Amino acid sequence: RSVESAVKRSRSAHLRRSFHAGAVPERKVAILGAAGGIGQPLSLLMKLNPLVTRLALYDIAGTPGVAADVSHINTPAEVAGYASEEQLGKALEGSDLVIIPAGVPRKPGMTRDDLFNINAGIVKSLCTAIAKYCPNALVNMISNPVNSTVPIASEVFKKAGTYDAKKLFGVTTLDVVRAKTFYAGKAKVPVSEVNVPVVGGHAGITILPLFSQATPSTNALSEEDIHALTKRTQDGGTEVVEAKAGKGSATLSMAYAGAVFADACLKGLNGVPDIVECSFVQSTVTELPFFASKVRLGKNGVEEVLGLGPLSDFEKQGLENLKAELKSSIEKGIKFAKEN
């Protein structure tokens, strides 16, 4: 027993050194779609992240300018730009984490599913390259429709024999970011203290914020307030699409959310304990094969998919209401990947 506790003591001393003395592991992060509306500010934010050693910026257009620009920032991460399909392998090789914001965004009047025809093919080809060049990397999927692009990625990886459910994440952090902001505004609590889980998927009614579990809790909100907050969170993307009036969808708040989630993934990889974020992952929380819920992140990606916790009647109803749409979006993605 004494050997075991000595090992434990030395391990925790080592971790302390790792966390407090700056001796963190080297980490390569690749961003695919790095010159886009999300890609550019996300590249900036990842260049600022002290956990990133190498930053590979890949896009089919505009990469050299973005890479040169970001590379001048005086932070440790080494930046390299990759500008054409022939360079995709080099961009991916050795990556610990690949973030994918490549693809077209919505215009007013469109649903996220209207992006499927273009983005499904983009995601499929990028994931085929990931399977070849960095099969062990964590993948953070931002490209919409997330409810379908994550299942597409899973099928591509299965076909290639590299699928690891623990390493594939649909990024739903923006829903959490919005839920926190809107809740703090309405409940008049400091936004930096707020936590709100958001479960389900990432489109319309499939986005289900659990305000009954929001902290700090408050009894200042009426049922109508909760319904309005829920609707605003579900329609947050559309609110931005309409405000941008044809010039795309959320980019800055998404880059922030993407950077928060990527940072959590890197911390998990580095062995930092108790890193929990919501994400759309392979799941047994409901009967659906993919579902967003709280996930504990660790050295191999998903360490544990956490359950839903107690739901209000309104949330229980929301959960039942979202299942049909989420199921069909998942099946659409799987079918596409199997047939193409």
CA distance 172 to 19: 27
Among 146, 144, 136, 41, CA closest to 98 = 136
Residue 36 or 268: the one with the smaller Cβ distance to ligand LMR is: 36
CB of 263 to ligand NAD, least distance (A): 16
Could you say which of 40, 63, 95, 144 contacts ligand LMR (CB under 6 A)?
Answer: 144
Could you say which of 106, 180, 327, 332 contacts ligand LMR (CB under 6 A)?
Answer: 106
Q: Tell whether residue 143 is among the known ligand binding residues.
A: yes
Q: Tell whether residue 1 is among the known ligand binding residues.
A: no
Return the range that interacts with ligand LMR (CB under 6 A); candidates 62-70, 233-241, 259-267, 273-281: 233-241
Q: Tell whether residue 36 is among the known ligand binding residues.
A: yes
Q: CB of 245 within 8 A of CB of 29?
A: no
CA distance 223 to 308: 20
Catalytic site residue from 14, 20, 72, 202: 202
Residue 37 or 301: the one with the smaller Cβ distance to ligand NAD is: 37
- The residue with its CB nearest to ligand LMR is 237
- In the block, which residue shows the tokens 């027993």? 1
First to last CA, the chain: 56
Tokens of 269: 């990889």
Cis ω before 145 (30° cut-off from 0): yes
- In the block, which residue shows the tokens 């360079």? 87
Strands (E), the chain: 28-32, 54-58, 78-82, 97-100, 138-141, 168-170, 198-200, 207-209, 275-282, 290-298, 301-305
Among 105, 260, 108, CA closest to 175 = 260
- In the block, which residue shows the tokens 């409810």? 147
Could you say which of 147, 206, 249, 282 contacts ligand LMR (CB under 6 A)?
Answer: 249
Which residues of the chain form contacts with ligand NAD (CB under 6 A)? 32-33, 35-39, 59-61, 101-106, 115, 119, 122, 126, 142-144, 146, 171, 174, 202, 248-251, 254
Residue 138 or 146: the one with the smaller Cβ distance to ligand NAD is: 146
Could you say which of 122, 250, 305, 334 contacts ligand LMR (CB under 6 A)?
Answer: 250
Among 197, 116, 131, 136, CA closest to 161 = 131
Question: Per CB under 6 A, does 240 bind ligand LMR?
Answer: yes
Q: Tell whether residue 170 is among the known ligand binding residues.
A: no
Q: Tell whether residue 38 is among the known ligand binding residues.
A: yes
**Catalytic: 202?**
yes
CA distance 44 to 261: 15
Q: Tell whether residue 142 is among the known ligand binding residues.
A: yes
Q: CB of 119 within 8 A of CB of 336?
A: no
CB of 301 to ligand NAD, least distance (A): 18
Could you say which of 81, 151, 201, 237 contacts ligand LMR (CB under 6 A)?
Answer: 237
- The residue with its CB nearest to ligand NAD is 36
CA distance 200 to 182: 19
Q: Tell whether residue 12 is among the known ligand binding residues.
A: no
CA distance 116 to 148: 8
CB of 200 to ligand LMR, least distance (A): 13
Give the residues lining the site for ligand LMR (CB under 6 A).
105-106, 112, 144, 174, 236-237, 240-241, 249-250
Annotated binding-site residues read 33-39, 59, 106, 112, 119, 142-144, 178, 254
Annotated binding site for substrate: 106, 112, 144, 178
* Residues catalogued as catalytic: 202
